[in-house]
Structure 1
Amino acid sequence: MTSDEREPDSPEDVVRVRYGARIAAVLEREPVWARDFDDLAYEGRRLFGELFGTFLLVLAGAGAAVLETATHGQIGRAASVTAPALTVLAVILFMGAVSGAHLNPIVSVAFALRGDFAWRRVPAYIAAQCVGAALAALVLKAAFGDVAYLGATVPGPGFTATQAFVIEALLSLGLVSTILGTASSAQNIGPLSAVGVGAYIAQAGLWAGPVSGASMNPARSLGPALVSAHWHDFWIYLTAPTVGALVAVAAAYILRGPGGGPSGSRAAQGTLRPPSVEHR
């Protein structure tokens, strides 16, 4: 018996011989963008994208509140709520293809619940988002001092914690619904999804910002709270967005059925290759 004809020496070899060709055939049929996402060589790039994108978001969102206090109101509320919205729009456009531009723990969890994003990637994404938010708060503290608790989100004057909780949950429901909806193949609007998400963030801040600060993002609230050590009512901004996201996932199931389709998965995961290569 030649060396090529020898029986496999171990159970692992048996599995490799018996199923190797079958696994290779499955991987060959898998879309290129999906194979790229399974390649851990890109994972660091994706995590850096989430860190960098969240850093820019919190820098604009918390920074607007800091500068409004530092300049004695020269930055109006309209500017302070549209700044993070425009930042999110820009970040989705310039790096959404790398990581999916979640920028928000509840978005990562929602995509995972929909089957568009692997659960094993969620903890690292959330960690990267929280680190980016904390770095933004540190930059603001170094530049302006501990002004306005570095933009920490708290219930507005005259509003109760219960009112802030309800508003944050409802705003988060709308935000995650917008993200999941524009990512689905039913709408198929591609880069215009960035406009939809940015527009929602702006309008949410305009009508509800005075009640709760319109955070809709546990990482955005965590960064300033952590650096300024101001944890007043932080529980609202951790739990209410989560509740809103869970309801949004349920609503998405009612509206469009289960997730996991190509369009939603590409939106959640990003693709590092241009379409001309992706579809070869």
Structure 2
Amino acid sequence: MMCYGSERHNKCLKLLPDPGVSVLKLIASEFIGTFIMIFGAAATPIVDAKYPNAETLIGKAASAGTAVAVVILSTGHISGAHLNPAMTIALSLFRHFPFVYVPLYIAAQVLGSICASFALKFIFHPFHNGGITVPTISTTRAFFLEFLITFNLLFVITSLAFDLKANRKLAGIAIGGTVFLNILIAGPSSGGSMNPVRTLGPAIANGNYERIWIYFVAPVTGAIAGTGAYDFIKLQ
């Protein structure tokens, strides 16, 4: 786990739960953080559907990246602000995160995503389907695109969180910037999900499950590969 400050107050990123925080608070932190992230990331494309050309690809990418950054900065010190089952699973597999917390974190993330998606549906009906992620390219290409952008994301996260030699002072901004970049690359083609719950909540709210398996399998495998890649090359 990374430190925040001198030994204690210079923290920039933390992906392990604070041992002094109750399990209920950890789960609440993941739920609220995921709610905010999904609300921010999915709202911009919905607004663009309701008000044509109100948002651009840059606006959609910036909204998602900003949402991720602010949640990391506001809740990272409590639960680690995973917000993403793919990340939670990958970190657990490489022993960066206790397996006992994995089901609880994923449950909180799924519930936060569903609640945010139905909130958007209530507010923006009938334009709420703008928040779904459905490929506009072939299944194979969409799979590898989601795999690669999730690889990029977890490579960056792992480097900032678990390498003591890394520059972590702007970790939240760096991770949000990676999300921003990935959506600029993949948004028009696959939606730039990188996260099973980014796809799941809007899919349930809209009843659209087209090729949804891509957004479960590709991010998880990409996250595992990205975490493993940095673990392999990091300086000892």
The TM-score with structure 1 as length reference comes to 0.75
| TM-superposed deviation, 1:184 | 1.9
Contact 2:121 2:128 in 1 (8 A): no
| TM-superposed deviation, 1:257 | 7.9
Match of residue 248, structure 1, among 218, 226, 229: 226
- Tell me which residue corresponds to 1:182: 160
- Tell me which residue corresponds to 1:49: 29
Match of residue 180, structure 2, among 199, 202, 209: 202
SS of residue paired to 1:74: coil
CA RMSD, 1 decimal: 2.0
SS of residue paired to 1:248: helix
Q: Which has the higher helix share?
A: 1
| TM-superposed deviation, 1:189 | 3.1
Structure 1 residue runs without a partner (length 5+): 1-30, 259-280
- How many Å separate the matches in 1 of 2:165 and 2:194? 23
- Tell me which residue corresponds to 1:128: 108
Alignment deviations for residues 199-228 of structure 1 (CA, whole Å, 9 cap, x no partner):
111011112211111000001110001111
SS of residue paired to 1:234: coil
Q: Read off the aligned partner of 2:114 and give its amino acid letter.
A: A
| TM-superposed deviation, 1:252 | 2.3
Between the two proteins, the alignment pairs up a number of residues equal to: 222
| TM-superposed deviation, 1:116 | 1.8
* Residue 113 of structure 1 pairs with residue 93 of structure 2: yes
* Residue 212 of structure 1 pairs with residue 190 of structure 2: yes
Q: Read off the aligned partner of 2:219 and give its amino acid letter.
A: P
- How many Å separate the matches in 1 of 2:70 and 2:19? 26
Match of residue 163, structure 1, among 141, 155, 165: 141
- How many Å separate the matches in 1 of 2:220 and 2:67? 22
Q: Read off the aligned partner of 2:217 and give its amino acid letter.
A: T
Q: Between Structure 1 and Structure 2, whose CA radius of gyration is higher?
A: 1
Q: Read off the aligned partner of 2:141 and give its amino acid letter.
A: Q
Contact 1:54 1:133 in 2 (8 A): yes
| TM-superposed deviation, 1:114 | 2.1
Contact 1:86 1:198 in 2 (8 A): yes
- Tell me which residue corresponds to 2:47: 67
| TM-superposed deviation, 1:146 | 4.0
Contact 1:218 1:238 in 2 (8 A): yes
- Tell me which residue corresponds to 1:238: 216
Cα separation, partners in 2 of 1:150 and 1:75, compared to 1, 3 Å: closer
Cα separation, partners in 2 of 1:246 and 1:108, compared to 1, 3 Å: same
Contact 1:137 1:150 in 2 (8 A): no
Structure 2 residue runs without a partner (length 5+): 1-7, 9-13
The TM-score with structure 2 as length reference comes to 0.88
What is the percent sequence identity of the aligned residues? 31
